[in-house]
Structure 1
Amino acid sequence: MKHHRRRLAAAVAAGIAAALGSTPGPAAAHPFGDPQTVSIALDGARPEVVRVRWKAGGLDDLVLLGVSLGLLPKDRVMLDGAVFYRDSDAAAIGPSDRFAAYLLKQITVAGGGKACTGTVEPPSDLAKSGVTVDYTCPGPVGTATVAVHMLTDLNPAYQTLATGPKGERAVYRQGEDSHDWPLGAAAPGAGLGRSAALQLGAVVGGLLLAGAAALLFVKKRKAKEIAKP
C-alpha cells in the first residue's frame, strides 16, 4: 500500500470538512501536484482519426476519480487529506464503463466543425501509461478542435498540459478548455498554434521593417556625403 499526501491546501480543505463534521467533497481534490497530461496526434494510417492519450498527474488523482465514479470505496480519502492508493486501483478503474463514459464526456474532439466519435482503448496500465481514446471524424482532419475538462468537476483548479505534432503545446485550464490543433500535413501553420504563428509573423515583420529602415538610413547618409562640396 502506498501512502500519497499532496500539499497543504488539500489538508486545509480536508480539515475544514472535518471541522464541519462532513466527508471531503470536491474541495478535497489535489490539483496542486504534478499536472495531468494529454497528447494529441493524427493516426498515421487513418487521416480521419485523432488519437488522444490522457495520463493522470498522480496516483492520488486516480483514487479521487475512482471514488467520485463509485469505483473505489470512500474510505480511501481521509478527512486529513491523505489518499491511499493500492496497485489494484488502476485495474479497477481502467476497464470500467463508467470511466470510459467519463473520458468521452470530459474530452471531446471536432474536425471541420463536426463532432468526432470517441472509442476508448482498454488501458494495459492506467497508472503508468494512461489511456488512449480514438476519435473518428466524418472525414480527413486538417485541424482538430480538442476540448479537455478532465478532473475539473472535482476541482476547477485542475490543469492539463497538452502536446501535439511538431512540439506544439497548450495548457487547458478553467476558461481555456478548448484548443485548435493543426494535424494534417496540408494544414496552414502546421506545428504552430494560432497565437504562436501570429507571434512569429509579428517578429519576422518587425525584423523586416527594421532592416528596411536601416537600409534607408544608410542610403540617405551616403547621399548627404556625396552632396557635400
Structure 2
Amino acid sequence: MTLIKRAPLIAAGAVLLSALFAAQPAAAHPFGPPSTARIGADGSRVTLAWLPAEDDWVALGRSVGAFGDPSAGADTTLTGEQKLARSAGVRDYLLARIGVTQAGRPCAAELAPLERLLAEGARFSFACAEPVVEVDVRIEALSDLHEAYRTVLTAETPAAPARTMLTASSGTRRLRFDPSAAGGVPLVVPAVALVAALGTLAAFLVRRRRQVGAGA
C-alpha cells in the first residue's frame, strides 16, 4: 500500500486516538495529584473546605446522575458547575462522605451552597458539643469511586498532624488542635490569672508604701 493510499487511514487513526485520549482524564486522574482540603477550629466549631480537581467533580457528578441525559430532556442551558451546585444528589453524597466526630459523637454538619465549587470547593461547618481539641476527620469522597483517589488535609489552625493524607484504606484521621489557637480554653483562666497578678501588685505597693513611711 502506498503512502498516499495509507494517508486516509493514518488520519482516521489519529482522530480515533485523539478521541480516546480526550476521554481519559476523568478516568486517569485518580493517579494524578490528590484532592486537597483545609480545616480549622474555633471554639466548638470546625470548618472544612474540600477542593477536588474539575474533572474529579465531573466524575462525582456522573456517579450521582447530576448532569442528566440530554437525549432524555435534560436541561442543556446550564453549565456543568451549575448542575452540580443544584444537584441534591451531590449534596447528599458530600454530606454522607465527609464528616467530623468528637469523642465518638458526630458534629452537626452544614454544607454551604455550591455555587462556586470549582474555585472554593465544598465548604462545611461542623458544630461540635464541646470546645474542639481532638476530633476525628473523615473524607471518603471519590475514594469510593476508585481506590487511587486521595485527599491531602492541611490544618489552618495549629494542629497535630499539621498535614495528613486520607485514602480509600484510611479515610479517617484524628487531629488534635492547639486549645489556645482553636479557642478551646475557657476565658475564665486568663481572668483568674489577671486577678492574681493584680493582687500581687497591690500587696507589693502596700509594702513599699509602709517602708517609705517608716523611713520618714
Q: Quick check: TM above 0.5?
A: yes
* Shift in Å, 1:63: 1.0
Q: 2:175 — aligned with what?
A: 181
The 1-side partners of 2:135 and 2:86 are apart by 27
Q: Which SS does the other structure have where 1:161 is aligned? A: strand
Q: 1:24 — aligned with what?
A: none
Q: 2:130 — aligned with what?
A: 139
* Shift in Å, 1:169: 0.2
| TM-score when normalising by structure 2 | 0.62
Q: 1:70 to 1:55 in 2, by over 3 A?
A: same
Contact persistence 2:158–2:177 (CA under 8 A): no
Cα deviation 1:112-155 (Å, max 9, x = unaligned): 22111111000341111112111111221111110111101211
Q: Which SS does the other structure have where 2:165 is aligned? A: strand
Q: 1:121 — aligned with what?
A: 112
**Gaps in structure 2 of 5+ consecutive residues:** 1-17, 71-76, 182-216
Contact persistence 2:106–2:128 (CA under 8 A): yes
The 2-side partners of 1:64 and 1:114 are apart by 31
Contact persistence 2:144–2:168 (CA under 8 A): no
* Shift in Å, 1:65: 0.9
Q: 1:148 — aligned with what?
A: 139
2:170 partner amino acid: E
- Alignment: residue pair count: 153
Picking from 152, 158, 178, the partner of 1:166 is: 158
The 2-side partners of 1:65 and 1:177 are apart by 17
Which structure is larger by alpha-carbon Rg, 1 or 2?
A: 2
Contact persistence 1:143–1:184 (CA under 8 A): no
Cα deviation 1:39-88 (Å, max 9, x = unaligned): 11113xxx1111110111x211111111111111469xxxxxxxxxx981
**Gaps in structure 1 of 5+ consecutive residues:** 15-26, 76-85, 188-229
| TM-score when normalising by structure 1 | 0.59
